[in-house]
Every structure is written in structure tokens, then in C-alpha cells.
Amino acid sequence: MKIPASVAMPLTVRVRRSPFWPRSHAAGGHNYISYNHTLIAADIDSPQHDYQHLKDAVQLWDVGCERQIELRGKDAARLVQLSTPRNVSSMRDDQCFYIPTVDGEGQMTNDPVLLRVAPDCYWVSIADSDQILFYKGVAAALKLDVAVTEADVAPLGIQGPRAEALVSRLWGDQIRELKFFRHTRVPVNGRQMIIAKSGYSTQGGYELYFEGSDGADALWDELMHLGADLDIKAGSPCQSERIESGLLSYLSDITPDMTPFEAGLGQFCYMESDLGCLGFAALQLKQQPVRQIRPIEISGESLPPLQSFWQVTDKEGHIVGRISSACRAWSYDVNAAIGLINDSHWNAGTNLTVQTPAGPREAVIKDRFWGR
Amino acid sequence: MKIPASVAMPLTVRVRRSPFWPRSHAAGGHNYISYNHTLIAADIDSPQHDYQHLKDAVQLWDVGCERQIELRGKDAARLVQLSTPRNVSSMRDDQCFYIPTVDGEGQMTNDPVLLRVAPDCYWVSIADSDQILFYKGVAAALKLDVAVTEADVAPLGIQGPRAEALVSRLWGDQIRELKFFRHTRVPVNGRQMIIAKSGYSTQGGYELYFEGSDGADALWDELMHLGADLDIKAGSPCQSERIESGLLSYLSDITPDMTPFEAGLGQFCYMESDLGCLGFAALQLKQQPVRQIRPIEISGESLPPLQSFWQVTDKEGHIVGRISSACRAWSYDVNAAIGLINDSHWNAGTNLTVQTPAGPREAVIKDRFWGR
């Protein structure tokens, strides 16, 4: 049967709304998904408009669905390390680390950003899975001295090339010194809140880890006022921009059966010695994947929406991979896609066929993502 | 701002569709939520029609969102027991157990139905959280001999007073012998699949644990054909029926900060001795809750949709609880609700006020749910 582009989702207590949702929704937020049991808008204006505006100006994103798992206690660092092959022992207090998290088989359970917010306190800023249950299970099983909770924090994305100009107007020029994937604290509502130079785009920007809910409207309005001459608008994570840039999405591109090596995240895996990661022994045996994430250009006009994985076939018609994300990358005038491709066909320049619902399309493996 | 009753949700690979989805959707399925990263319809016809029909006839429910966590290996039973205060040691091969699952603090992580499907193999039929990550964490931390996977199983609900007549036509009269919360195997597609006398209603019925996806349409059509004179229709878990019957919903009525005692599930907690449950020590200290689930009747006409918890106040205006589910219970001509109420006000007969978006309403604590 024909699958509709969208369906109606009733808003119940099962789907949380962040403190920034009323402003984001009033600005046009639509096409919502439930992500970490929380609403997130896929679009504000049209996809192409949101995309171009993100590249030109500055946007406020309600990304309250990025929940923070707080690990607090003397075993907090150990618990983090048990969950990831990345070496977190060298982490400094102001750093953010992208950490693939894995199970005992070395398969990915999430791909969060880790923040060290205080000695013995970490926030794990999660993608869309209940990673908190992994931490609760391990902490209880090993009787660790750590409290595992979900913090009352709703990140606000400030993304785009004019983000630095905007935040410096509110928090002063010293914020211009902040380096990529570092964080500091800024005054909001009489509190000191964490702001990181990070975000789910490659256009530059910040994520403010907004605590509680009081004052969210006022902060949003103040930023909109301060950024009026910067053409500030509401936005949301942009599929086309993140796909052309190779920013992966957990539960789309990365599935729970994949290792970090298959996801192309080998550089985040410290394999020289066993630091404690529960998946380390399994990962030692899986360092040479036989399938891996690749950038793929799909020929022709714009594509239909991707509602199931699309098969990738070779010239004999054998299945050699799948497409997990695809979009029009208007800046490059191509269809950009993310695929998981077998080693037999993953070399750049390999010509393949993608079986889309609109029929087969010619495609080619690229050597890198467009926006990198 | 006014919260819309529903929003558009795009159908992407992030929201899985069960093998029964095409038939259920074609039958009118609408108002979908994402539950265990899988679509489930809230309604087929109107809520009142679906409710009355469920009580009169028989319905097929696409409940493929009830995912099965398979625990297989010699430590499978131990891993189950680590996650729940219920004594599962006495479980027989054909039994289903409703098991509150808890973390190290005794707080609920899910409220699944446990099936013992073979020696050393259990299926944990989960509500809406990634409970698989708790099992993966514990299994890896304790180096248990158990494989933790999600089985390729999509349950089909067969619910309503005529369900027994229907299934006996397909699988023979011996299925009438099956007792409540017991399971057996029946031939489907040349395989033996598990069917249990269970389901998320109190109207009687079965859940078929359909394996794989081949033949789902044919099975649906066969049941529809066999049940034509029974007035069979597509349906889905019915909010009004489950609320009036006190069937709780995880992430609505039961939140991750609640113990089984607060949820009124003390009868499923074996507290005489420590069987291994990781939350046992914490639960020993929490056996006397100061708030607990209660049935509540709310006066007046039908209620607006519940989109946030509604405060429950006493006559001085102090907050003494929250309403987590509320609906029109047409059979009883009342507004039935589920609340979490402080011990000071939880006695049956206590008069309270519920702060609904349509204004305050008088309410009273009942001694039991209507459909019990």
C-alpha cells in the first residue's frame, strides 16, 4: 500500500514538550517526531528555506529532546568509560566528547556528546534511545557509587554563521574565544548555565544547556530581539544540511546492530589497551568491518521521502547495501545520501543502483561528504 | 498557548511499522503514536465506537509495538530476576507473568509481560522504554552467559468477548482450554507460534506472537473472513476501556520515578527474601508509599484531552496529587481517571478538585476501578 508522508500524532503526556516548544511552535514548527519521548520539529518554514537560512544567518532550535543523563558520584567517570571505547580519562573540565556508546557485543546503543560539568559529574547528551537504562543497569550490577538521573535540562540550539555575533551581544565578546567542543558558563535567569560551541550542523553555533523551565520564553524573546538585524529565525535540525555534511543519526544511519567501526567512527575507539569499556573484547575482534557508512550521490531529480531503507544493488542486481538517509542538497545541486555499503563495493567511484520507491536510480560512492 | 490536539508526524525509518500495519491502516487506523520506536494507532473508528465494539464483538489489534526482548542462555532466568522484584523462580513453561521491572533504586523501568518460551529462553514483552539497554548493561557488567536481542516478533491482539469463538475456528476447540496468562503454540504459516490468553483489555482475548513478516496479510484476512459473522473489525488498545479497568500505562500513569508500591503493584513484589533483584534493598525501605495510584471519578461532561498531568487539589487549594489518564467511560456514564494521590487524601470517598484546562472539576476517590 502507499505509505502516507505523515500521519496525525495526538499530543499526550507520553510526548514531552520542552520549555522552548511554545515559542518554536508559534514560529511555525511542524512535522514533529517523538525523540527521547519528547517532541522535535522537523521543519519551521519549507525544508529548502530552512536549509538556506541556516547557511546564511542564525537560528534558534528547540532541541530539548536532547536529554541529559546526569552521572554524579565518585564512580561517574568509571561508568562513562564502561559504556564507550573512547578514552575519556584525558577529558578536561571544559570539554565535550562525541562518544559512541556500545553494549557488550560492541554494538552501538547511542552516540551522545559527553560533557564533564564538574569533578565527578558528567552529562551524557543523548540521541534517541533510553541510554539511561544501560547506565542504571551497569551501576546497579557493579554497585557503583554514582547517581544516574535525567537532568531537568533542555538544550537550546543557536546555529548558523551569525551565531557568534548573536551570543556575543548577550554574553560578551569573551565568548568568541570559546573553541569548538568546549564549554563555559554564562548567566541566564540569575544562574550560571553551560553553553558549548557545538550543535547538529556544520554552520557553526552553540548549544545552551538551559536548566529548568522558568524564563525560557523571555530568553527566546531576548535572543530574537538581539538578533533581529542578523535575520534570526526559529529553526530545527536540518536533514539536508546534516546529510550533506555526514552528521549521522542514531536509529536512522546507525542501527543497534552496528559497531562504531561500521559507522565510520573508528577514530573515537581507543583500542591500544582495555580501559574498561564493556564492549572492548568484542570490538577487538570487529576492527575490520565488512560494511561501512559511505557518502553516496544519487542521480536525477529530487527523491521521494525515505520511509524504509532503500536497497543498493550492483550491476548484477545483488544487494550490496542500504540507503538510510537521502535528501536534496541544494547548495551542491545533488541528491546526497548516507549508505551502509559492503566492502566489495564501498570504494569511491563505484557505480551502483539505488532502489527507490520512484524506481531505480544510478548512484556513485563519493570520497567524502559534500559539506566537509 | 493553546496546545493542538494533534500534530503531523512524518513517517520515516525512525518509526517502524509492523507487518500488520498495512491492513490496520487500510482499515482506518489513525492518531498514531511512536511506541518503542514503532507506530501504533490510537483509533480506528471514533473512540466511542471502538470502545463499544470492543465490548460487544472481537477486534484485531496491530500491537507490533510490543517488542520482545529475547534473553537466551543459561543465565537468562537470573537476568530476569535481577530486573524485577517478582519471584520468577516458580514460573512454568506455559506461563506469562506481569513483572514490574526496577532499577537499583527500586524505581520502575518498564512493566512488561514475561513469557517463558523455552528452557533458558524468555521473552520480555515490553511497554514503552528501551528496557533492552538495562538487560544489556547488566549482562555485560556481570559477564552473564546470555544473549540479549530483540526478537523479530510482532504481536497481533485478538480482543473482545467473541475472541474465543474466533480463535477456536482457526485453531480448534482445544484452545478454549487455555487459561488466563497461559500460552501455547498454534500453527501459522507452517510454523508453531506462541499464542497467549492475554491482552491490554479486560474483555477477554489473545495475543499471537507473530514471527517474521511473511504471511501477515494472509493471516489478517483469514481471521477477518472467519469472523465476519462475529462482527470482527480492526481495533487498537482502547484508552477508555483500559482506564475504566485500571490497566496502567508506562510513561503515563507509571513514571520512571515511581516504585511498584506507588503504582499499586505491591502484590507483584516478593519481599520475604532477596532473590537477586537489583532494586531489592531499596524497595525494602520503600514498602510504605506516601502516594499511590487511585481510581478517580471526575464530575461533569466529557473532558478535554489530557496533554499534561492535571493537578489535584484539596479544599484549601493545596496540591495533593496528579491525574495521568482520564476519559469518558461510556458504559458507566462517568469520567474515569487514574491519579497519583498523596496518602493524606487517598481514601475512597475523599472529595477533591481536578484542575483541567476547561476549569476546575469536582472529583472523588473511588474504592475500585469500574471495569474490575
Residue A117 sits in a domain of what CATH number? 3.30.70.1400
Q: What is the CATH number of the domain that holds A305?
A: 2.40.30.110
A297 burial type by CB count under 10 A (0-12 exposed, 13-18 middle, 19+ buried) = middle
Residues of chain A with C-beta less than 8 angstroms from the C-beta of B82: 141
Nearest-by-Cβ selection for A42 from B10, B22, B30: B10
Residues A348 and A210 in one domain: no
Nearest to A3 among B11, B14, B141 (CB): B11
DSSP per residue over B144-213, as a string? -S-EEEE-SEEEEEEESTTHHHHHHHHH-GGGGGPPTTBEEEEEETTEEEEEES--SSSS-EEEEEEESS
Cβ neighbours of residue A231 under 8 Å, at least 6 residues apart? A53, A56, A57, A58, A162
| Shortest CA gap B158–chain A (Å) | 23
A159 and A141 fall within a common domain: no
CATH of the domain at B52: 3.30.1360.120
Using the Cβ of B2 and the Cβ atoms of chain A, whether some distance falls under 8 Å is answered with no
Asked whether residue B49 carries a pLDDT value surpassing 90, the answer given is yes
Q: Are residues B234 and B159 in the same domain?
A: yes
Percent of chain B with pLDDT over 70: 100
Contacts of A49 (CB under 8 A, 6+ apart): none
Residues A56 and A160 both lie in one domain? yes
pLDDT for B90 equals: 87
Confidence of residue B170 (pLDDT cuts 50, 70, 90): very high
Q: A340: which chain B residues are within 8 Å (Cβ-Cβ)?
A: none
Q: Cell numbers at residue B5, please?
A: 490536539
In a domain, B268, yes or no: no
Q: How many whole angstroms separate alpha carbon A87 and alpha carbon A67? A: 23
Please, what is the average pLDDT of chain B? Answer: 97
Confidence of residue B372 (pLDDT cuts 50, 70, 90): confident
Percent of chain A as helix, strand, coil, to the nearest 5: 20, 35, 45
Distance of CA B190 to the CA centre of its chain: 29
Residue A86 lies in a domain: yes
Say yes or no: A27 and A97 in one domain: no
B353 domain-assigned? yes
Best B2, B3, B6, B13 residue to mutate vs chain A (most A CBs within 10 Å): B13
> Do A31 and A89 share a domain, yes or no?
no
Q: Which of B48, B29, B51 lies closest to B40 in space, CA to CA?
A: B29
Angle at A268 between CA A262 and CA A269, to 5 degrees: 75
- Report, in angstroms and rounded to the nearest whole number, the Rg of chain A calculated over CA atoms: 21
How far apart are the C-alpha atoms of B251 and A34, rounded to whole Å?
Answer: 13
CA B207 to chain A, closest CA, distance in angstroms equals 24
Do B117 and B227 lie in one domain? The reply is no
B282 touches chain A (CB under 8 A): no
Our count of domains for chain B comes to 3
When pLDDT is cut at 50, 70 and 90, the band that residue B331 belongs to is: very high
How many Cβ atoms from other residues are within 10 Å of residue B94's Cβ?
17
Q: Which residues contact B87 (CB under 8 A, 6 or more apart)?
A: B270, B275
Q: How far apart are CA A219 and CA A224, in angstroms?
A: 9
| Residue B119: band (very low, low, confident or very high) from pLDDT cuts 50, 70, 90 | confident
B194-231 pLDDT tens trace: 999 999 999 999 999 999 999 999 999 999 999 999 99
- Touching check for B211 and chain A: CB below 8 Å? no
Kindly tell me if the per-residue pLDDT of B4 is higher than 80: yes
pLDDT of residue A2: 86
Domain-terminating residue out of A129, A150, A171 = A150
What do you get for the CA distance between the two ends of chain B, in Å? 38
pLDDT digits (tens, 9 = 90+) for A42-83: 999 999 999 999 999 999 999 999 999 999 999 999 999 999
- Scanning chain A, the segments in alpha helix (DSSP H) are 21-26, 47-56, 76-83, 131-141, 163-171, 216-226, 239-244, 280-284
Residue (of A347, A97, A58) closest to A206 by Cα position: A58
Domain edge (last residue) among B242, B259, B278: B242
B27 falls within a domain:
yes
**In a shared domain, residues B54 and B197:** yes
Q: Does residue A228 belong to the interface with chain B, where contact is any CB pair within 8 Å?
A: no
Q: Does some domain include residue B282?
A: no
Mapping DSSP to helix (H, G, I), strand (E, B) and coil, where does residue A152 land? coil
How many helices, marked H, and strands, marked E, lie in chain A? 8, 22
3-state per-residue secondary structure call for B304-366: CCCCCCEEEECCCCCEEEEEEEEEEECCCCEEEEEEEEEHHHCCCCCEEEEEECCEEEEEEEC
d(CA B67, CA A169): 49
**Number of alpha carbons in the 13 Å side-chain half-sphere of residue B74:** 2
Q: Are residues A163 and A115 in the same domain?
A: no
Q: Is residue A156 part of a domain?
A: yes
**Strand order in B121-125's β-sheet?**
B96-98, B113-118, B121-125, B68-72, B147-150
- Which residues lie closer than 8 Å to A206 by C-beta, 6 or more apart? A157, A158, A159, A163, A167, A178, A195, A196, A197, A198, A199
Average pLDDT rounded to a whole number, residues B247-261: 98
Give start and end residues of each alpha helix (H) in A142-262: 163-171, 216-226, 239-244
Q: Is residue A277 part of a domain?
A: no
**Dihedral through CA A80, CA A84, CA A89, CA A91, nearest 10?**
-80
Strand A113-118 relative to strand A108-110, pairing: unpaired
The predicted-structure confidence for B289-326, as pLDDT tens digits, reads as follows: 999 999 999 999 999 999 999 999 999 999 999 999 99
Q: How many CB atoms lie within 10 A of CB B189?
A: 14
Q: Shortest CB distance from B307 goes to which of A5, A13, A140? A: A13
For chain B, positions 251-270, list CB contacts with chain A under 8 A.
251-252, 256
B135 and chain A in contact, CB less than 8 A? yes
**Residue B283, in any domain of the structure:** no
| Grid cell locating A187 | 548567566
Closest partner residue to A138 (CB to CB) among B32, B109, B137 is: B137
CA distance A44 to A26: 10
Contact residues on chain B for A278, CB-CB shorter than 8 A: 137, 140-141
CB atoms A9 and B33 under 8 Å: yes
What is the rounded CA–CA span in Å between residue A104 and residue A83?
9
**B43 and B157 together in one domain:** yes
Check residue A357 and give its pLDDT. 95
Q: What is the pLDDT of residue A119?
A: 87
For residue B124, give the H/E element and its range.
strand B121-125
Nearest CA to CA, how far is B58 from chain A (Å)? 25
Both B192 and B236 in one domain: the answer is yes
Q: Verify that B352 and B366 share a domain, yes or no.
A: yes
- B302 residue type, one letter: S
Q: Which of A59, A62, A55, A61 is nearest to A232 (CA)?
A: A59
C-alpha cell at A20: 522552548
Contact A29, B324 (CB under 8 A): no
Q: What is the pLDDT of residue A245?
A: 98
Q: Which residues of chain A have pLDDT under 70?
A: none
Domain extent at residue B95: 68-141
| CB count in 10 Å sphere of residue A189 | 14
Cβ–Cβ gap A138/B133 under 8 Å: no
Shortest distance, CA A220 to any CA of chain B (angstroms): 15
pLDDT tens, residue by residue, B6-38:
999 999 999 999 999 999 999 999 999 999 999
pLDDT at B2: 86
> Is A6 within 8 Å of B10 when comparing Cβ atoms?
yes
Decide if B174 touches A, using CB distance below 8 A.
Answer: no
The residue from B141, B169, B193 where one domain ends is: B141
Average pLDDT of the residues of chain A: 97
